[in-house]
Amino acid sequence: MMRMRSKWIIGLTVAVTVLALGVFGCAKKEEPAKPAEPILIGGIFDTTGPTSGVGKDYAVGAVDAAEYINANGGVNGRPIELIANDYAYKPDKAVELYKTYRDKGIFLIQGWGTGDTNALSALVNKDQVVYMSASYDSGLNDPSKTPYNFYVGTSYGDALRAAMKFVKDTWTGDRAPKVVFTYPDHPYGKNPIPSGKAYAKELGIEVGPDQIVSLRATDAVSQLTNMKKFNPDWAWIGGTTPSAAVTIKDAAKLGLDTKFLINVWGFDENMPELAGEAANERAFGMAPFTFYGVDVPGMKPILEMHNKKHPDDKHLVRYVQSWVSMMVMWDALKRAETLDGPGVKAALEQIRDFDTGGLTAAPITFTPTDHRPNTTLFIYKVDAEGKQVPVQSSTLERKPEWLGK
Amino acid sequence: MSEIWIFLQLIIQGLAIGSVYALVALGFVLIYKASSVINFAQGELLMVGAYVCLALLTTYQVPFWASFLLTMAFSVVLALSIERFVLRPMIGEPVISIIMITIGLSLVLKSIVSAIWGTQIKVFPAIFPQAPIKLGQIVVSEVYVYTFLASMIFLVLFAMFFKYSRMGIAMRATANSNQVALSMGISVKKVFAISWCVAAVVSAVGGILIGNINGVNITLSAVGLKVFPAVILGGLDSIPGAVLGGLIIGILENLSGGYLDHFFGGGVKEVAPFVVLVIILMIKPYGLFGTEEIERV
Amino acid sequence: MQQCGIFHETYKEDMAIFQTPFIKFWMALFFAFLAVFPWISKPLNAALNTNTLYLMNLIGIYIIGAHGLNILTGFTGQISLGHGAFMGVGAYSSAILTIKLGIPFWVALPMAGLITALVGMVFGIPSLRLKGLYLAIATMAAQFIIEYAMRNWTSLTGGSTGMVVSSPSFFGISIDSDRSYYYLIYAFVIAATLFTKNLARTRSGRAFVAIRDRYLAAEVIGVNVWLYRILSFGVSSFMVGVAGSLWAHYVLVVNDEAFGIWLSVQFLAMIIIGGMGHVLGGIYGAIFMTTLPILLRIPEHALTQVYPGIFAIFQSLTEGVFGLIIILFLIFEPDGLAARWHTIKNYWKLWPFSY
């Protein structure tokens, strides 16, 4: 009995050891580099979570852009590989993905939301990983605080200021214009509000009580009933397109004369369809990017990719947004002296007046002391026929005191 | 807009939203009454109904009346297969398992819908007049009037069904005791299947109506969660309770949103029904019209 | 070699946790493996396409939480759909105690557990009057109410922006790497597992099981049903709270998005798949539920190379796969992996003479 037991134990131990060695051996064997090893890029997208309504198209755009880059020579001959993963808008999931990418040696990430980008920014800057987010949160554009965070859209703070300026400039009444802020309970909605309010006060705009409309709202009657008491001339919407459409529809129903200025993620090609006639002459969008399919030189490769890969799909301006982010990244990768975080960061910070082929309202510039891509955006509106037309392009000063706010 | 009009507007809007809850709650109570199953996938049944109808209308260009009927037919088939393949093996299993299996079901339905139709919001072509109805200074979408009517019609139909029809009485007997029902020659399987079918159809009607208000997306299924406060308030096994509970929860939600948002920094609407739920459970767990269970050893 | 029968001569032998030298040996080997795992996990990263150590740490945290829920649901038979939020309470308590009040992590962690236990007991009060299905609904309401508080009590919780937490330190050494945190987590995992295992053998544990099986009978034989139900809620939430605290100081960001109803469902799925009422159930379940999404990423990744764009469809199916697994387990393997493992073991015990 005793002898048999020890035999078993020895046998099993040997078996386990052999197996373990086998696993190690196999893993080791895979490591030698292939001829042109791709440059890995981490993707953290929301394709199933609360912002997936806009997030899925963004992710598809990034994946297509990666293919386009590879078809056009890659990074000095080396292809890139975008690892696209969904994090369902959960910050902890984003941290997990980030750590996985970092430990793979990835030094460049295409990320998504405001909450998680902010949460990761401490880690990212410690690890020297370049993080290009779809969150244009103003808190991320001050390189003295977040040197490794980049984005390509006009910051939310600047968008809000541009909106206030637009209100002031177009105001013709005798009294001060009245404005109310509506936004969802998310960092994306909340973060730009204080700087927007401060600027509104500076311009002499009267600000009413804030209203919270959740991203998943299916009606906003109680919020708008409250808003009606103050009866504002303009209202800011800091949500995504579905909740913005709900707000506008219910406002029209309740007979409010208020017009709405909507942040970048709340105004896209779906707006006229979702809000119907309610949006006409009522919905104004802050648009740092050209809408999908508009005839500008930069749109050509996008349409090519679209026709080649999924001609039946419908795309939004979100596709353009991630495309631009990938193109800026491509440019920096090609010029980077060293292919690592600091090298790409330095290359990004050398970008001066990067021509997006008309995909953005203005060329993009990054400097080592200022990560605001530009301070210009289009103001679109839905006209009386339900078409989205540009009203004007609005440029703010690059004031140093607005950096990071 | 004076205070009194604001108050009335909130009440009317609450009734409107509440009638949607009432519809879904009806389906929920029906399943519970017949088979003692707590269905966490009720909201998903609503969502699936809305999406199927939408797809028929837009992708296949079927006229509304036909797509409405086809959606009902689809709901019946869906409900039958759910009952047959998912719930029937669970007969006699503990409550925990049954709750979990309906949660599992809700995940599956949700992911199938998002794989087929994506997560972007989709809008119904205008079926009902878009211009709101005005009563003094109060406005309400016309769709809500239909929702309210639908919930009332179903309420009356179900109440009569349970009171007078053979099948309804058989269902009540089955709910009371499976074994007794079986020994009296009632086909318990048939009763379960029918209750699921009716519940799915009612939910799909709710889905189509609510989808007409502000479009359809994956978060539509969240309506299913609001059903719990409604049915607990009304009493889990009471048909009139479900309707009344739904309406009260709708009103409560809007009043709290209108008057309390100011103090709590917004979003009170989302949570108020659940606070009420906990309070009811603590003081009157069997709701307004629910059957009180008395246990004897 | 396993023993074929039970030949215990003393009570001590009968009550031992590791009963045979065979098991003792394997457990020793297993613990040795756990101890060296952080040093050998690197090659696995490539194979699983993830950070294995991070995964192990998450598994550890979920094991503690799953044990907690298993005590409540598996032992006492009280279903809870609010454990995700309770874990959030633990995480937020710990964050607030360390950041706002400057209390060291080692004190904040048990305090977070206690606060969570208190919250859990408050929401457990309906369980005194209600049975299973009502309790499920009550705890679901707790889930939403707590989530709302986390999101809107801005002065305390930082609102939807959440809070940034710092890593704990041990005698001046900061525990901020995956490797050092691994040892911290697994110390707690072992403690929690031993606690759960032993709880089942105490007076309270037997009272819990009696309540689960037939609470009226339990009351008749003198078990104070009220007291033990609340106690079960307390113990269970305490463990989940500790898990939450560990989570907060590991992920370093506390935000309400992480503690939604989905987490509560995941916890329940863990103990159902693992095996309700089995100590090993929590462990198997946590491993299964945490590894599955990572494993699902592998085919997804491979397919994405061929058809980019398919990943969006794939990712929406992940949740569905979870749902399907829950359904299949409930129908075909209602006692979970722990029971299946037991059956397999018993089969081989008598092999080739099994009947």
The full 3-state SS of chain A, as one line of letters, equals: CHHHHHHHHHHHHHHHHHHHHHHHHHHHHCCCCCCCCCEEEEEEECCCCCCHHHHHHHHHHHHHHHHHHHHCCCECCECEEEEEEECCCCHHHHHHHHHHHHHCCCCEEECCCHHHHHHHHHHHHHHCCEEECCCCCHHHCCCCCCCCEECCCCCHHHHHHHHHHHHHHHCCCCCCCEEEEEECCCHHHHCCHHHHHHHHHHCCCEECCCEECCCCCCCCHHHHHHHHHHCCCEEEECCCHHHHHHHHHHHHHCCCCCEEEECHHHCCCCHHHHHHHHHCCCEEEEECECCCCCCCCCHHHHHHHHHHHCCCCCCCHHHHHHHHHHHHHHHHHHHCCCCCHHHHHHHHHCCCCECCCCCECCCECCECCECCCCCEEEEEEECCCCCEEEEEEEECCCCHHHCCC
Surface-to-core class of residue C279, CB atoms within 10 Å of its CB (0-12 exposed, 13-18 middle, 19+ buried): buried
Interface list for A 135-174 with B (CB within 8 A):
none
The two structure tokens encoding residue A162: 């541009």
Say if B132 is an interface residue toward chain A (CB within 8 Å).
yes
Residues 246-275 of B with CB under 8 A from A: 254-255, 257-258, 261-262, 265-267, 269-270
Percent of chain C, pLDDT > 70?
A: 92
Would strands A108-110 and A39-45 be described as parallel, antiparallel, or unpaired? Answer: parallel
Could you read off the pLDDT of C301-344 as tens digits, one per residue?
677 666 655 666 776 787 888 899 989 988 888 888 888 888 88
pLDDT band at A343 (very low <50, low <70, confident <90, very high): very high
Comparing CA positions, the residue from B49, B213, B253 lying closest to residue A245 is B213
Contact B132 A253 (CB under 8 A): yes
> Is C24's pLDDT higher than 90?
no
CA B281 to chain centre: 20
* Distance of alpha carbon A390 from alpha carbon A380, whole angstroms: 4
CA distance A140 to C270: 38
Judged against a pLDDT cut of 50, whether residue A102 lies above it is answered with yes
By C-alpha distance, which of C30, C34, C18 is closest to C188?
C34
Q: Which of B123, B139, B141 sits opposite A273 (nearest CB)?
A: B123
Q: To the nearest 10°, the Cα dihedral for B156, B158, B160, B163?
A: -140
Q: Output the CA torsion sign for C150, C156, C159, C164.
A: negative
Cβ contact A162:A394 at 8 Å: yes
Shortest distance between the Cα of B133 and any Cα of chain A, in A, equals 9
DSSP category for residue B122: B
Look at residue C200 and give its three-state secondary structure.
Answer: coil
- CB–CB contact A254 B261 (8 Å): no
Report whether A360 contacts A341 (CB < 8 A): no
A103 contacts A36 by C-beta, under 8 angstroms: no
Cβ contacts from A onto B, under 8 A: 94
Phi and psi torsions of C221, nearest 5°: -85, 10
How many beta-carbon pairs under 8 angstroms link A with C? 111
Residue A268's alpha-carbon distances to A5, A176, A401, B55, B120, in angstroms, are: 71, 30, 30, 22, 12
Q: Comparing C-alpha atoms, which of B51, C313, B120, B53 is closest to residue A269?
A: B120
Count of CA atoms in the C-beta half-sphere (13 A) of B177: 5
C110's tokens = 């048990």
Q: Does C224 touch chain A (CB under 8 A)?
A: no
pTM: 0.84
Contact yes or no for C334 and B285 at CB 8 A: no
**Rounded-to-integer distance, Cα C139 and Cα C145, Å:** 10
Which tops the pLDDT comparison, A217 or A14?
A: A217
Determine contact, residues B276/B229, Cβ cutoff 8 Å: yes
| Shortest CA gap A158–chain B (Å) | 25
Cβ of B228 and C141 within 8 Å? yes
Residue by residue, pLDDT tens for chain B (297 residues) are 577 888 888 888 888 888 888 988 988 988 888 888 889 999 999 999 999 999 998 888 888 899 999 999 999 999 999 999 998 888 878 888 888 899 999 999 998 998 888 777 788 887 777 777 887 778 887 888 888 888 888 888 888 888 898 888 888 888 777 788 888 888 888 888 989 998 999 999 888 888 887 778 877 888 888 889 999 899 888 888 998 999 999 999 889 888 887 777 677 888 899 999 888 888 887 888 877 766 654
Verify whether the Cβ–Cβ distance C58 to A96 is below 8 Å: yes
- What is the per-residue DSSP string for C104-140? -HHHHHHHHHHHHHHHHHHHHTHHHH--HHHHHHHHH
Token readout for C261 is 């109803």
Q: Is the dihedral of CA A267, A270, A272, A274 positive or negative?
A: negative
Annotate C15-25 with b (16+ C-beta within 10 A) or e (fewer). eeeeeeeeeeb
What's the complex ipTM?
A: 0.88
Count, residues in chain B: 297
Residues of A in contact with C297 (CB under 8 A): 85
Instruction: Quote the radius of gyration of chain C (alpha carbons, Å).
Output: 21
Q: In this structure, are residues C113 and C90 in contact, taking their beta carbons and an 8 Å threshold?
A: yes
B11-B256-A251 Cα angle (round to 5): 65
Pairing assessment for the beta strands C253-254 and B133-135 based on DSSP bridges: unpaired
Please tell me the predicted confidence (pLDDT) of residue A327: 94
Binary contact (A254, B9; C-beta < 8 A) = yes
Cα dihedral sign, B236-B240-B246-B251? negative
Query: Is the pLDDT higher at C110 or at C293?
Result: C110
CB atoms within 10 A of CB C167: 15
Here the tokens at position A109 are 């990430």
Closest CA to B258 of A243, C149, A209: A209
In the numeric block, the tokens 């987490």 are attached to C263
SS3 C224: coil
Buried b (16+ CB within 10 A) or exposed e, A317-336: bbbbbbbbbbbbbbbbbebb
Interface test with A, best of C163, C167, C255, C307 (most A CBs within 10 A): C255
Q: How far is CA A4 from the centre of its chain?
A: 65
Say what the pLDDT of residue A31 is.
Answer: 43
E strand segments, B206-275: none
Say yes or no: C1 contacts chain A, CB-CB below 8 A: yes
Across the interface, whether the CB atoms of A223 and B257 are under 8 A apart is answered yes
Q: Is the pLDDT of residue A30 over 70?
A: no
Q: CA A114 from chain center: how many Å?
A: 8
- Which residue type occupies C91? A
Check CB contact of A226 with chain B, cutoff 8 Å.
Answer: yes
Mean per-residue pLDDT of chain A: 86
Kindly tell me if the per-residue pLDDT of C42 is higher than 60.
Answer: yes
Find the helix or strand (DSSP H, E) in which B211 lies.
helix B188-214
- Categorise residue A231: left if φ over 0, alpha if ψ from -120 to 50, beta otherwise: left
To the nearest whole Å, the CA of B72 is away from the closest chain C CA by 24
Query: A193 with A209: CB under 8 angstroms?
Result: no
User: Whole-angstrom Cα distance, residue A169 to residue A167?
Assistant: 6
Give residue-wise pLDDT tens across range A242-271.
889 889 988 988 888 899 999 999 998 888
